Chain A
Amino acid sequence: MRVTVKFFAALREVVGSRELQLQLDDGSTVASLLERLSREYPRLGALCQAAAPTVNQEYSSLGAELHEGDEVVFIPPVSGGCDDL
């Protein structure tokens, strides 16, 4: 199956592109996708430690099974809103 992985903010700078189309084995999970990405982009794994995965624009989990055409984004701790920290 084919999935799309999009990257934003720090992750985009590490990967060097906005999105990747990846061919995965059937039964792949978010965790196995992250494992594969971490092998190809070693710095990505560390950045994704505190990240929340999303599948098709909803917060998901590492154990979630992926399906053909899914869009996956790893969300590092967000820092939008006001700037009063």
Chain B
Amino acid sequence: MICRITRDKIDTPALLEAVKHPEAGAVLAFEGIARNNSLGRRVLYLVYDAYPEMAEKKLRQIGEEIAAKWGITRLAMVHRIGRLEISEASLVIALASAHRADGFAACRYALERIKAILPVWKKEVWENGEEWIEGKDFAPFDQEAALKR
């Protein structure tokens, strides 16, 4: 299991190669991408900050939840922090699963749990200002929230 907070560009093809396994018939990756617009404003770039020690610990916790629910252990979750240009990946989830249904479900679960509990914050920088964005999916105490979505 790869759980990492990094300041470097995320190498998605390398993560896909890392999780591949001869017994896994489905390999998938999700990339969260810095968008050029938000609520009608033009976004110039994003800045991510994290509480890195806790964030890596929470990624491992999410990985253990996924291993317990689906038996998937060929899993990589990498979140980038620092300045991100438009179209760069902030988050990559890559995993290998025996069958596609479990793979898609686990990938979705990883994403929703990350959005609910991972201590990572995004600042949007616009043409005329900037703001730390408050996440609407924050649910640090609700273990089941991600599955209900």
Contact (Cβ within 8 A) A79 B35: no
Q: Which residue, of A52, A59, A85, has the highest number of chain B Cβ atoms within 10 A?
A: A85
Contact (Cβ within 8 A) B51 A80: no
On chain A, the number of residues with a Cβ less than 8 Å from chain B's Cβ atoms is 23
What's the dominant secondary structure at chain A's contact region? loop
Contacts of B34 in A (CB 8 A): 83
Contact (Cβ within 8 A) B35 A10: no
User: A49-79 interface mask toward B, CB cutoff 8 Å, 1 = contact, 0 = none?
Assistant: 0101010010100000000000001011111
Question: Which size class do B's interface residues fall under?
Answer: 35 or more
Shortest Cβ gap from A66 to chain B (Å)? 17
Contact (Cβ within 8 A) A8 B50: yes
Contact (Cβ within 8 A) B57 A80: no
Knowing A54-B54, A82-B90, A84-B32, say if A76 contacts B134 (CB, 8 Å).
Answer: yes
B interface residues with partner A (beta carbon < 8 Å)? 30-35, 38, 46, 48-51, 53-55, 57, 79, 90-91, 111, 114-123, 132-136, 138, 140-141
Those 9 A-B pairs whose CB atoms lie nearest each other, nearest first: A80-B120, A82-B32, A79-B135, A77-B138, A9-B121, A10-B132, A57-B54, A81-B115, A77-B134
